[in-house]
Amino acid sequence: MQDKNTDNILDISKRRGIVYPSFEIYGGVSGFYDYGPIGTRIKKNVDDLIREYYVIGEGCVEVECPTVSPEQVWVASGHVKNFSDMTTECLKCGQPYRADHLIEEDLKISCDGMKIPELQKLIDDNNIACPKCRGKLDKLYDYNLMFATSVGAGKGAMTAYLRPETAQTTYLAFNRLWEITRRKIPFGVLQIGKSFRNEISPRQGMLRLREFSQAEVQFFAEPENKTMENFGDVAGISVRILSKDEKEISTTIGAAFEDKIIKIQMIAYFLGRSVQLFGDMGINTEKLRLRQHKDDERAFYSSETWDIEFMSGAFGRIEIVGISDRGDYDLSAHQKLSKQSMEVNIEGRKFIPHVVEVAYGIDRPIYCVLESCLREDERGAYFAFPTRVAPYKAAVFPLVKKDGLDERALEVFRLLRKSGVYAIFDRSGSIGKRYARADEVGIPYCLTVDYDTLTDGTVTVRSRDSKEQKRVKIEEIVRQLD
């Protein structure tokens, strides 16, 4: 479903360099998008906001690991055997489809937790055909989503895979990280980076990519102690919850934990922190919903799993973070195959730590920021990004390109850059058009150097949101923009 807002988002994104399809001169390949000059700045700001929350706010350490891993890693984790989607192909045109998505679109139902026999029966009983040519669909099969590659040459080459998630590469260095963090439990490890999934038929633009960015945090905790000292900081946050029995309620994080709707305090805490994080990004928190995984949907090793979903006007529910108690499954699996102990010893108590994972996408939240921050008024469509997410904090303009205003405006621009303020300089077109271009990509402030600047050393500072203008002395600009 595409509406006017979606059209505006796509139009501005392509024209102004936020995001656009990759490989366009060769016709493009579905599931790949470029971030342009504006989008790259927004993405970096989102990454840094996550770092602020978890490295500064929660005391996590950060790592960066290779995107290519030897096959043993994915054998141990279960991905080689189980990381697949249920797929069908058209017998007439050969087009492949992810079966659950095909059924959901055709019958308008949820297929969460369904297995191949159930999906096959729905396709057969409802005569669901190929959307492209109306041909008959073949029998369903499991299709592994990992990109396979090899490391090395000749007979010595080894099978490897592009990682489908960042989490496993974090687990491999657990013993080293345990030593680096002074043998304390709990401790958290953040990794922001690329992951890869060879999606069957990716659609919906940025929402389903074959190469995408993740920010995953692994909190290593004692098996019997998953409490959070600062839980009171999030207890009062209001949320909407869809429980696994499909009941939607309005409550608070604290009440949901007290009522045992959310059973693990650490999960409740990071659900609350995630709501705060998304709000700071610019996502409309009134459109967020916490959804508990059903028993037949949740991974077998997880005792409790929750998603936060954004209820999009164009695409319906969009999962933007998953929070799960993974138990000791991952460390135990790597211990078994590698023969390297993952046990810790705390005051004579030996155990393999449990993992509570907080797994963010990056691309999906950025789309949700775009949808949440889109505005339209007499200026047309534009983005009202929060200052900390906006691609630039300020745009600097000379009123005209003569009488020394151009040179003076460049001096102001250089002052901002020297002070560490991300800003742009624009002298092309009328002042009205320059305001419109800055508004369109969400720049919070426009600074105009005019004839008064030459006499009193002030510039006009215009606010994107209020459109109010005030005179500010050049030496006070940086402080005024904070």
Residue 176 and residue 137 share a domain: no
Integer distance in angstroms from the first to the last C-alpha of the chain?
Answer: 39
Q: For residue 241, is it within any domain?
A: yes
For the purposes of burial, counting CB atoms within 10 Å of the CB of 265, is it exposed (0-12), middle (13-18) or buried (19 or more)? middle
Cα 271 to Cα 465: distance, rounded to the nearest angstrom: 30
Q: Which residues pair with 219 in a beta bridge?
A: 188, 356
Nearest to 41 by CA among 16, 22, 59: 16
C-alpha span between 39 and 163 (Å, rounded): 24
Domain count, the chain: 3
CA count, 13 A, side-chain hemisphere, 159: 9
**pLDDT 10s digit of each residue in the chain, 482 long?**
457 788 999 999 999 999 999 999 999 999 999 999 999 999 999 999 999 999 999 999 999 999 999 999 999 999 999 898 899 999 999 999 999 989 998 998 988 878 899 999 999 999 999 999 999 999 999 999 999 999 999 989 999 999 999 999 999 999 999 999 999 999 999 999 999 999 988 877 889 999 999 999 999 999 999 999 999 999 999 999 998 778 899 999 999 999 999 999 999 999 999 999 999 999 999 999 999 998 888 888 999 999 999 999 989 999 999 999 999 999 999 999 999 999 999 999 999 999 999 999 999 999 999 999 999 999 899 999 999 999 999 999 999 999 999 999 999 999 999 999 999 999 999 999 999 999 999 999 999 999 999 999 999 999 999 999 999 999 999 998 87
Helix, coil or strand: residue 239: strand
Domain of 337, CATH number, reads 3.30.930.10
Say yes or no: 250 and 122 in one domain: no
* Helix H or strand E encompassing 446: strand 445-449
Whether residue 242 sits in one domain with residue 341: yes
Backbone angles phi, psi at 433, to 5 degrees: -65, -35
Is 90 in the same domain as 61? Answer: no
Q: Is 247 exposed, middle or buried (0-12, 13-18, 19+ CB in 10 A)?
A: exposed
Q: What is the residue whose two structure tokens read 């040519």? A: 133
Q: Are residues 188 and 274 in the same domain?
A: yes
Would you give the DSSP letter of residue 214? E
Range of the domain at 21: 4-66+166-371
Name the DSSP letter for residue 195.
Answer: E
Residue 382 lies in a domain: no
- Whole-angstrom Cα Rg for the chain: 25
Q: Enter the DSSP assignment of 261.
A: S
**279: amino acid identity, one letter:** G
Q: In this structure, is residue 321 part of a structural domain?
A: yes
Q: Are 202 and 21 in contact (CB under 8 A)?
A: no
Q: Do 295 and 406 belong together in one domain? A: no
- Co-location of 397 and 264 in the same domain: no
The per-residue pLDDT for 1 is: 47
Residues 219 and 127 in one domain: no
